[in-house]
A = this chain, B = another copy of it.
Amino acid sequence: MTTTATQQEILTGTGLHAWEQNIAQATAIFEKYSDEDLLLPIAPGKNRVIYLLGHLTAVHDRMIPLLGLGERLYPQLDEPFLSNPDDVAFLPDAAELRECWNKVNGRLTERFRNWTTEDWLSRHEAVSPEDFAKEPHRNKFGVVLNRTRHLAYHLGQLVLLRK
């Protein structure tokens, strides 16, 4: 960011920075955990780490069409990680999930970095043009801030397992 950035660019850049920081923090946590660690619950009787990895990946994958960035990469993640609670009898493929996590976030972040102010302020796909005319804050910037908070929420849970 240079000193010639517009006010809008500084504001959207601050939001993008928050997103990137949380993605980096979560990725570092997942990488620190072995595949066996992923099968541990974050606290007794609570979700396993691997469920949160799949859940966050599915939520971020859904951002791709929501933000007008194309088709989803991994719609098959919804059923085990969004439509259903964690099931300890289910053993997802850890290596595959780790790859999905990195691919989805890489795709999103790359696009965000190239967005103009108009892109950030444009309508997301879950709001109608009529509603958006009345509620201009239901824009793509709001979606990214919201998902950044959602990620922070689960980060607070993931660190409970810290040894």
- From residue A149, how far is it (CB to closest CB) to chain B in Å? 4
**Which of the segments A15-23, A31-39, A81-89, A104-112 contacts the partner chain?**
A15-23
The answer to whether A134 has its CB under 8 Å from any CB of chain B is yes
Q: Quick check: B152 and A14 within 8 Å, CB to CB?
A: no
Question: How many copies of this chain are found per oligomer?
Answer: 2
**Which of the segments A59-67, A71-79, A93-101, A140-148 contacts the partner chain?**
A140-148
- From residue A135, how far is it (CB to closest CB) to chain B in Å? 7
Chain A at the B interface: mostly helix, strand, loop or mixed? Answer: helix
Q: How many residues of A contact B (CB 8 A)?
A: 41
> A127-147 CB contact bits vs B (8 Å, 1 = yes)?
000000111110101100110
In the A-B complex, the 9 residue pairs with the closest CB atoms: A43-B43, A153-B156, A156-B156, A152-B152, A11-B11, A149-B152, A14-B142, A152-B153, A156-B157
Q: A8-B11, A17-B137 are in contact. List 19 more A-B contacts (CB 8 A).
A: A1-B136, A5-B136, A8-B8, A10-B137, A10-B139, A13-B137, A14-B137, A14-B141, A15-B145, A18-B142, A18-B145, A43-B46, A145-B145, A149-B149, A149-B152, A152-B153, A153-B155, A156-B157, A157-B157
